[in-house]
Structure 1
Amino acid sequence: MKEPAIVTTPLGTKIRDLRKEKGFTLDKLAELTDSSKSYIWELENKNPPRPSADKVARIATALGVTSDYLVDVNASVTVEDAADQAFYRKYRDMDTSTKSKIRKMVDLLGEDE
Structure 2
Amino acid sequence: MSDNELGNRISELRKSKGLTLEGLAKKIGSTKSYVWELENKPGIRPSAETVYKIAVALETTVEDLMGKPINADDVQDQVFFREYQGLKQETKKQLKSILDALKQSK
Task: Say whether the fold is shared (TM-score over 0.5).
Answer: yes
Query: What is the CA–CA distance in structure 1 between the aligned matches of 2:43 and 2:23, rounded to whole Å?
Result: 21
Query: What is the CA–CA distance in structure 1 between the aligned matches of 2:30 and 2:43, rounded to whole Å?
Result: 15
Provide structure 2 residue ranges, at least 5 long, that are not aligned to the other structure.
70-106
1:54-65 correspondence to structure 2 within 5 Å: 54-65=49-60
Letter in 2 for 1:72: G
Question: Alpha carbon RMSD of aligned pairs, Å?
Answer: 1.9
Query: What is the CA–CA distance in structure 1 between the aligned matches of 2:34 and 2:46, rounded to whole Å?
Result: 10
In the other structure, the counterpart of 1:22 is 17
Letter in 2 for 1:13: N
| Count of aligned pairs | 68
1:66-85, CA deviations, whole angstroms, 9 ceiling, x for partnerless residues? 11111226xx8xxxxxxxxx
1:40-62, CA deviations, whole angstroms, 9 ceiling, x for partnerless residues? 00000012431100000000000
Provide structure 1 residue ranges, at least 5 long, that are not aligned to the other structure.
1-7, 77-113
Q: TM-score, normalised by structure 1?
A: 0.55
In the other structure, the counterpart of 2:5 is 10
Query: What is the CA–CA distance in structure 1 between the aligned matches of 2:25 and 2:35, rounded to whole Å?
Result: 6
Query: What is the CA–CA distance in structure 2 between the aligned matches of 1:31 and 1:49, rounded to whole Å?
Result: 19
> Quick check: 1:42–1:48 contact (8 Å CA) kept in 2?
no
Higher helix share: 2
Letter in 2 for 1:32: K
Q: Give 1:39 deviation, angstroms.
A: 0.6
Q: Where in structure 1 do 4 or more consecutive aligned residues deviate above 2 Å?
A: none
In the other structure, the counterpart of 2:36 is 41
Q: TM-score, normalised by structure 2?
A: 0.59
